[in-house]
Amino acid sequence: MLLNENILMATARDKVQQLGFWDDEVKNVSHDKIVLWVHANAEMLARKYIKEFLPDYHHDVLQANWTSSELRIPAGEKLINLPLPPEKPTNLVYRVTLEKVIQQHSENGRILPRILGYADALISWSTPSAVWDVQDKCWQITGSQYSILVEVKSTLPSLGELMRQINLYRLVYRDVIVVAPDDSLSPILKDQKVMFVKHNEKFE
């Protein structure tokens, strides 16, 4: 019985490794330094991604003040007759999760999800809106939530290996940023709709 269990466990490990579940980079101290830099600069990374890779209708969130599309007023109400809305939130990012488990949930009703790997960092951000509540006579701040997966590489692998990993993770998270000291793959990654950011890049 024990032999069979060991065989099953070894087979499971092989399958998981093929999916990129194990990452030797995680043991690298240089990898940790880049991850901590991503964590500290998550707001700027999210804003850069929104500006360069998302459609124009998302760009209102980058403005310091409310835009007309972000103020939601019921029919029959006029903004001029309402009190001023509260100040727009200054930060878009509300959470940064390190080593987030990437799970692809089955569509056929299976209980257990399929684990694809780990995200070095997952940046969670929201698009704020100010909504006039007719019943309570006040403004309510709401927002739609989005995520950006960040893949950190202290040393770039081959392009094929990197894209296989990214496309696997895209089964769950569409928006991806790669951060590394070596920017040699930046043009081809941009062509593949992946944003590349060089480690320690200065943001405008």
Reference 134, options 86, 65, 81; nearest CA is: 81
Reference 103, options 13, 188, 18, 19; nearest CA is: 19
For residue 170, pLDDT over 80 is answered with yes
Q: Which tens digit of pLDDT belongs to each residue from 49-100?
A: 999 999 998 999 999 999 999 999 998 889 999 999 999 999 999 999 999 9
Q: Which fold has domain 24-198?
A: Trna Endonuclease; Chain: A, domain 1 (3.40.1350)
Radius of gyration of the chain (CA): 21
